[in-house]
Chain A
Amino acid sequence: MKQAWKRRYSFWSLTAAVLIVIGLVGVIQRYAFGLGETTNLSDRFPWGLWIGFDILVGVGLAAGGFTIAAAVHIFNIERFRPILKPTILTAFLGYLLVIAGLLVDLGKPWAIWHALIYWNTSSVMFEVAWCVMLYTVVLALEFSPVVLERFNLQAPLRVIRAITIPVVVTGVILSTLHQSSLGSLFIIIPGRMHPLWYSTILPFLFLISSIAAGLAMTIVESQLSAKAFGRKIEVPLLADLARVVVVVLATFLAVRVQDLINRDALRFALEPTYQSGLFWVEIVLGTFVPIALLLIPRFRHTANGLFNASVLVLLGFVANRLNTAITSMEQWPDRTYMPSWQEVAITLGLAAVGFALFSAGVRYLNVFGPQEDPGARQRQEVLSQGSRTTSRRTDTVCAEASSHI
């Protein structure tokens, strides 16, 4: 059994290595020959797969980071603590890859720092840029204890633990702003987008769907890494997450349909067009089916059931983002787009880098192990001493508060 997993694991390592090499070839070509030579982007289609997938999907899949951080640190739901560190790692790596994707997509990547000094606060892209920068820093801070513990650096650890709550609160605000701002980007294009996707509530729709996708990603990633590293899959915990996914997805579906009705756009879904076909793929595959499956307890409480339903949620999410960024702008035959092989190769290569970095992180850092909890020791002491003066209690509160964070 274990042997089989090992073989499978090395098969995936090899696949990742091949994808990374092909992706690197794409990157070298892109920088050597320019965007026009190596992509199918054009004046008619200035944004393609990299914005649609690497940015919109990449950021969305990192939404587990703020959701689980808020659940554990703000709402004190201790049950979710075991999946906190891997989820933060996923989000952190996701954001690093988004930045890598941006460096490939931008026409003048060496000027990216201009966003720091030239401010235009009326630009949604300005909001997006600052959210990317600041939330990446927040994710680095949120993940830093794992690295600091590895090298036993107590002084910075104490500092990080002391500021955990403000950091997490900042992270939740930045991340929710970022998720929604990616939807706001499209609000400025009222004329050209297909009515099945253009909506002034896109920011809200993007936020809700990212929460469902982020949690589905957490379920998938927990199972993949459990299998890869021979750990037990925590089905009851993941089933709890899946229940949240169902509620969030159902909310998303209700808001989405209501919005289509309000804008009198539902009729476009019934026309036999290329766009309506992809709309139904997104809605049926990404919401109806996973909601139905996850509502069945027998299905929800098995590792395979959870995994398959979550993969459907992710596919539906990818379809939604690609439809918003690409399908909604296509007008056959004048305005169409298919990515070039370099665009696909770089996207796949970046995803493979993500998987490789994640497994390296799990291998060399204590991502899944029990969290070192200095507060536990103190609590033990308090218990054994049995002394309970008020001042002592206050001390414990502080110690517990800071350790718990």
Chain B
Amino acid sequence: MSNAMLIDITRCVGCGECTRACIAANDLPEGDDTQLSCARYTVVNEVGNPQASVRQLCMHCVEPTCVSACLVGAFRKTATGAVVYDEEKCIGCRYCMQACPFSVPKYEWSSLAPRIKKCSFCHSRVSQGKLPACVEACPAGASVFGDRNELIREAHHRINENPGEYVDHVYGEHEAGGTSVLFLSAVPFGLLGFPDNLPTEPIPRLSWKILKEIPKYAVVSSLLLFGIHWITARRAYVEKIEHRDSETEELR
């Protein structure tokens, strides 16, 4: 079963209990509660006009860009839906930070052995059968956790049952090939700062289209280069022989 989280922005009261629960569960240090950082894996902000309380956290993409981008494979999408990071493998190139379409991975800039920091979907809690800390703490029922397919059905059900209350869009159903964090909103997502220009094709496929051609390129170009060398070397040799023959001709 692949898990997901459905966040209903219309139900969120912006109390920040999710942020505090996350800090406690992950033992995070002091930090700015308004933006994601190496000290905050989820934050809630009042954004847009009309205002809405919007949570930010790792979207746990179905086909994550960070997983494909990391050269040492430090990111992994688990069977339960979480995108987790292995700090032992990481070399600190920060390509995941560039690659993430949601700008989620954050870096321990002030550390001498810096690591990437981001939400792990409470992977260890969930594997013990518990809920993610933020979902458990939410007093308004704005964040719920469950099977991704069921939550998508639930999201469309809410849209259909409450005409006019939501924009007809489940954010994360198709964005970047689909994510395991899904949002419902009354305001168009672009106005709330959600990236609204993402392809529905999983982003890793953009680079795979090029990477998969490399073996072919290597074979064809080496044949071509050896072939050209064969021809030009032969031509140079023949020229030399002819030159030499004409010289000996003259000597005679």
User: Which A residues lie at the B interface, using CB under 8 A?
Assistant: 31, 34-37, 41-44, 46-47, 70, 73-76, 78, 105-109, 111-112, 114-115, 118-129, 165, 168-170, 172-173, 176-177, 184-185, 187-192, 200, 203, 379, 382-383, 386, 388, 393, 397, 400-401, 404
Task: Find chain B residues with CB under 8 A from A169 CB.
Answer: 222, 225-226, 229
Contact of A70 among B103, B218, B225 (CB under 8 A): B225
Whether A190 pairs with B203 at a CB distance below 8 angstroms is yes
- State the main secondary structure of chain A at its contact with B: helix
User: Is B114 at the interface (CB under 8 A from chain A)?
Assistant: yes
Contact of B221 among A127, A176, A379 (CB under 8 A): A176
What is the CA–CA distance of A47 and B94 in the complex, to the nearest angstrom? 8
Known A106-B92, A108-B92, A114-B89; judge A34-B206 contact (CB<8 A).
no
Whether A107 pairs with B72 at a CB distance below 8 angstroms is no
Task: Find chain A residues with CB under 8 A from B112 CB.
Answer: 31, 34
Contact of A118 among B68, B73, B97 (CB under 8 A): B73
- State the main secondary structure of chain B at its contact with A: helix
User: Is B25 at the interface (CB under 8 A from chain A)?
Assistant: no
Q: Besides the contacts A43-B37, A109-B91, A124-B211, what 20 more A-B pairs have beta carbons closer than 8 Å?
A: A34-B111, A43-B103, A108-B92, A108-B113, A108-B114, A111-B90, A114-B91, A115-B91, A119-B73, A121-B211, A122-B207, A123-B73, A123-B207, A124-B207, A125-B69, A172-B221, A173-B218, A185-B95, A187-B206, A404-B233
17 contacts between A and B (CB under 8 A): A36-B109, A43-B109, A47-B94, A76-B236, A107-B90, A111-B90, A111-B92, A115-B91, A118-B73, A120-B71, A121-B211, A173-B218, A173-B221, A173-B225, A177-B218, A188-B204, A383-B247
Whether B99 pairs with A188 at a CB distance below 8 angstroms is yes
Whether A191 pairs with B207 at a CB distance below 8 angstroms is no
Task: Find chain B residues with CB under 8 A from A121 CB.
Answer: 211
Whether A125 pairs with B93 at a CB distance below 8 angstroms is yes
Task: Find chain B residues with CB under 8 A from A192 CB.
Answer: 103
User: Is B106 at the interface (CB under 8 A from chain A)?
Assistant: yes
User: Is B110 at the interface (CB under 8 A from chain A)?
Assistant: yes
User: Which B residues lie at the A interface, using CB under 8 A?
Assistant: 36-37, 65, 68-74, 89-95, 97-99, 101, 103, 106-107, 109-114, 195, 197-199, 203-204, 206-208, 210-211, 214, 217-218, 221-222, 225-226, 228-229, 232-233, 235-237, 240-241, 244-245, 247-248, 251
